[in-house]
Amino acid sequence: MNLSTLPRLRTAAVAIALTLSVAACGGGSGSSEAASPAAGGGDASPAAGGEGGSADGELISVGFSQVGAESGWRAANTQSIQETLTEENGFELSFSDAQQQQQNQIQAIRTYIAQGVDVIAFSPVVESGWDAVLEEAAAADIPVVLTDRAVDTQNEDLYVSFIGSDFVEEGRRAGQWVSEELGTEPINVVELQGTTGSAPANDRKAGFEEAIADNDNVTITASQTGNFTRAEGRQVMEGFLQSEGAENIDVLYAHNDDMGLGAIEAIEAAGLVPGEDIKIVTIDAVRDGMQALADGKINFIVECNPLLGPDLAQIITDVVNGVPVDKRIVVEDESFTQEQAIEALPDRQY
């Protein structure tokens, strides 16, 4: 396993006992209860030595349902998972791409249940509507690990662990930067939201609004989904330029780099200079976004680290071997100004 790709992690959980009834039943793990380890360090990195696999030496079978291939972030996330959950590392991975459709994910999860995999992992395209299929997984004694995005459920026993970034905090940091750096005079912000109903769209919007709430100079004048894709980002930005008038748009806040990059195309096609005529703030910090930041076309990026594979491998290995896992593992993210992007780009992994 490649330890150099480890995300920087901190655990959100304190040392509380968690009843992980689902976890205990699947994959031949032992007890029906597990307590999360104490916070403080919260190292969820792959086991020293980097080997996955069950205690009896068998490969761990994993069904993973990915959101889709909508962005550079997603491509890096898929690569990290596929490069880590390999036979060499002790896993037998079944991977499926849901093409941003919840029904496809539900179907994939049902297929993994029917196959009797040891562990199911998935990144839910939207937050709500998962209880029924998660109950089916629980009834089949298959533990479920959430990666990247959360589900909205009243019954948190339906999954064993959730690893991913704090999307509210990402939105908050973007809003703080806009408020502090640009909100010293009245400014109009247009917002490109992620996929409607998804955790990152909901949370990044909420965090941003919270951060600008006390600054009367900052107003969100238009907000629409661009579904996290470059093509839709461009299309929606073209609409904003028409409906709002370019002269009335000071800032674009895009929930990911790809939508921001699509919007840059629309801004340039309108004869304007991105990063100057319209300031741009995005989230992800994938290579193309960082390059645009270094080139001055984007003004600020909040990172969302996609390299979840090694940590997912560790969580799965622990679950199968009856080792307690944290219910919530938060990936730590950085943020980048233009100067910082220029410095970081040569070593950027994604």
Which residues make up the interface to ligand AHR (CB under 6 A)?
A: 70-71, 73-74, 148-149, 200, 228, 256, 258, 283-284, 304
Rg (CA), the chain: 21
Quote the least distance from Cβ 82 to ligand AHR, whole Å.
17
Nearer to ligand AHR, 27 or 234 (CB): 234
Cβ neighbours around 83 below 10 Å, total = 15
Quote the least distance from Cβ 199 to ligand AHR, whole Å.
7
What the block records as the tokens of 8 is: 């920087």
What the block records as the tokens of 240 is: 């904003």
Nearer to ligand AHR, 26 or 260 (CB): 260
Nearer to ligand AHR, 284 or 318 (CB): 284
Cα 76 from chain centroid (whole Å): 11
Identify the CA nearest to 211 among candidates 250, 253, 246, 247: 253
Quote the least distance from Cβ 38 to ligand AHR, whole Å.
28
Identify the CA nearest to 164 among candidates 10, 329, 297: 329
Nearer to ligand AHR, 27 or 68 (CB): 68
Nearer to ligand AHR, 138 or 208 (CB): 208
C-alpha separations of 250 from 184, 219, 222 in Å:
13, 10, 12
Quote the least distance from Cβ 201 to ligand AHR, whole Å.
9
User: What is the distance between the alpha carbons of residues 184 and 72, in angstroms, rounded to a whole number?
Assistant: 33
**Are 237 and 267 within 8 A, CB to CB?**
yes
Nearer to ligand AHR, 221 or 223 (CB): 223
Quote the least distance from Cβ 71 to ligand AHR, whole Å.
4
Concatenate the DSSP letters of all residues of 198-218 into one string: -HHHHHHHHHHHHHHTT-TTE
Nearer to ligand AHR, 240 or 350 (CB): 350
C-alpha separations of 130 from 22, 102, 160, 204 in Å:
15, 9, 14, 21
3-class secondary-structure state, position 80: helix
Nearer to ligand AHR, 122 or 228 (CB): 228
Please report which residue ranges of 50-156 form alpha helices under DSSP H. 72-84, 102-115, 131-139
Quote the least distance from Cβ 19 to ligand AHR, whole Å.
28
Quote the least distance from Cβ 289 to ligand AHR, whole Å.
9
Quote the least distance from Cβ 8 to ligand AHR, whole Å.
17
